[in-house]
Amino acid sequence: MVLGDIMGFSDSDYAYNQQRAHSADLFFIKMRAWFWGGCSTLFFFLVGNILGVVLDISVMGWIVDKTLGFWNYLWH
């Protein structure tokens, strides 16, 4: 390949570099997903605590009550 000889890389070097770049892209996509997943988890934990303390809303208590009510409806 004339262009490879001029530029100093061969076809296999080019393919290897493209594979490494793709791996790096996937790594950064994963890191962005972990970062925003962690941020959103923390945010929703804080919102849940604020709802529970300030507005006296208990989402988990509501879920447990509805589940037990449905269970009792089915088996009694």
Confidence band, pLDDT 50/70/90 cuts, at residue 7: low
- What is the model's pLDDT at position 43? 95
Average pLDDT over residues 37-65: 88
Tally Cβ neighbours within 10 Å of residue 18. 10
Average pLDDT over residues 16-23: 72
Whether the model clears a pTM of 0.85, i.e. scores above it, the answer is no
Confidence band, pLDDT 50/70/90 cuts, at residue 4: low
In whole angstroms, how large is the CA radius of gyration of the chain?
A: 27
Could you give the number of structural domains in the chain? 1
Which SS3 state, helix, strand or coil, does residue 9 take? coil
Give the span between the Cα atoms of 47 and 53, in whole angstroms.
10
Cβ(20)–Cβ(12) under 8 Å?
A: no
Report which of residues 50 and 67 the model is more confident about: 67
Tally Cβ neighbours within 10 Å of residue 58. 13
Segment 67-75 long-range contacts (CB within 8 Å, at least 24 positions apart): none
Domain boundaries, position 45: 2-75
